[in-house]
Structure 1
């Protein structure tokens, strides 16, 4: 006679649970960088957003997890988000309803007005928000010629033009040049500049590197990318006012595709953009089809 199945219970996780959480997440196809303890470490260290973990267990076996960042904003108040500074996150594995309820209980205890899950298994009864953000991802060919041929004709012409300029491409951990370019780019867009400490922490905690394109010693375009599960995520990037004349952004992403393929990546995730924005159009020009992102919100 089979023993009865142990009940599923949810509890808050701590430092002692880290290894078990990492083992549970390892190799799962749905897991993105935004689910990893290392991501939450980087966000907490770089921005001061404290991380919390909820673990669903049956006996001593982990069956589901949910990482959360405690986000505080002068404009929007306090919230638990999975994941802070991430375009994805959410519940992984079993026990979605119990984990979601535990997240709401934790939010109330911490004085948070809402909980937002940016992916994963979405709990029943929570508000679904979609049609605002779209993700852009597709398979990445293995060789340079196939990568170039896979770019639509008009955008491919821009890449070829960039290849005709004497531009220097650096790949590594050159954060000084990257942060100067990134800061100028987002200031020109009128959006907040994230703290340098976030990028330092991401480079330390995650499998990440930086590609920078320069002309005559002046950095023009740069991107910090994260790698996980054979996917490259170009995450924090931008270009200066002088980048367009040299097609530096076009060169940047072509070189990143080549570099990621050499690293063994088979998929390129261009990240999320809002419909109707310049970034949305730019990614479509590269041949990426928008896929709607669905977030679950309570509160």
Structure 2
């Protein structure tokens, strides 16, 4: 699955899994590719693969009673939610917020020094998976200051992409967005909220860990290396990522929207 934080081999039989991996390795060799990557939720023992442990994901078990989840949430996160409410931040949800989401998403990724997906990428997801996708936004005084692009699959809600306006960080719109989607999931009968992947000990890691008794789950990115010696650079604090990010932050926002998708499709 392109751009998915995890997936792995799609099979329910160990022999079939083994054959699929063998065929994938053959294709890498025949076509002269550098590597193949499997984003597994469980580490597969295979001497042909090397494992990277950079990322984890956070799974929050939901409850029919949101108050139970609220009590499991760290005090600091609860204070942030209450602050956003005092500042009259309002939460809404709907497909009509695509433009607002993309504007904040592009601006925030420029600040992070990260190329964006194209606007059409998100538009097509909304079009094809109409009943399994929605956009949640935080609004203050008529201005959208935060947004989450959400995926709904079986018994879980997945936080696909999220961004907030850095100028409003002190009133915690992302905290209120998070609590409201957790409460929504409880009331609608979902079993889990998948908070998405984060690097260990990063800012997003610490933010996500505070909510509703979140379960931290290790992700195993396993690589078959063919025409390269090193694993692809995954960590944000790597030298190459830092150099690129510093350059990207200096570009005009409209340019990042045009160039970004062509670069983003090649990033791990």
TM range, normalised to the smaller chain? 0.7 to 0.9
Q: Given the alignment of the two structures, is residue 292 of structure 1 paired with residue 218 of structure 2, yes or no?
A: yes
Task: Choose between structure 1 and 2: higher strand proportion.
Answer: 1
Preserved CA contact (<8 Å) 1:97 1:124: no
Aligned to 2:144: 219
Matches within 5 A, 1:75-90: 83-90=1-8
For residues 90 and 294 of structure 1, do their structure 2 counterparts lie closer, same or farther at Cα, with a shift above 3 Å needed?
A: same
Deviation of 1:278 after TM superposition, in Å, equals 0.8
Alignment partners' CA distance in 2, 1:98 and 1:260:
39
CA RMSD after TM alignment = 1.8
Structure 2 Cα separation of the partners of residues 97 and 131 of structure 1: 22
> 1:138, 1:169 → 2: CA distance?
21
Whether the 8 Å contact between 1:96 and 1:123 is mirrored in structure 2 is no
The equivalent of 2:12 in structure 1 is 93
Partner deviation per Cα, 1:47-84 (whole Å, 9 max, x = no partner):
xxxxxxxxxxxxxxxxxxxxxxxxxxxxxxxxxxxx32
- Count of residue pairs the alignment pairs up: 217
- Verify the 8 A CA contact 2:138 2:173 in the aligned structure 1: yes
Kept in 2, the 8 Å contact 1:107–1:113? The answer is yes
Structure-1-length-normalised TM-score = 0.68
- Does 1:164 pair with 2:86? yes
Structure 1: gaps of 5 or more residues: 1-82
Q: Does 2:95 match 1:176?
A: no
Partner of 1:203: 126
* 2:62 pairs with 1:135: no
Please state if 1:282 is matched with 2:200: no
Paired residue for 1:40?
Answer: none
Deviations 1:97-144 (A, max 9, x none): 101011122333444221111016736223242431111112012233
Distance (whole Å) between structure 2 residues aligned to residue 292 and residue 120 of structure 1: 7
- Which whole-Å CA distance do the structure 2 matches of 1:135 and 1:85 have between them? 15
Once residues 157 and 245 of structure 1 are traced to their aligned partners in structure 2, the CA distance between those partners, rounded to angstroms, is 12
Q: Which has the higher helix share?
A: 2
| Higher RCO (Cα < 8 Å, 6 or more apart) | 2
Asked if structure 1 preserves the Cα contact closer than 8 Å seen for 2:150 and 2:160, the reply is yes
In structure 2, stretches of 5+ residues that fail to align are 226-268
1:265 match: 190
Q: Which moved more, 1:178-187 or 1:161-170?
A: 161-170
Following the alignment from structure 2 to structure 1, what is the Cα–Cα distance between the partners of residues 133 and 188? Answer: 12
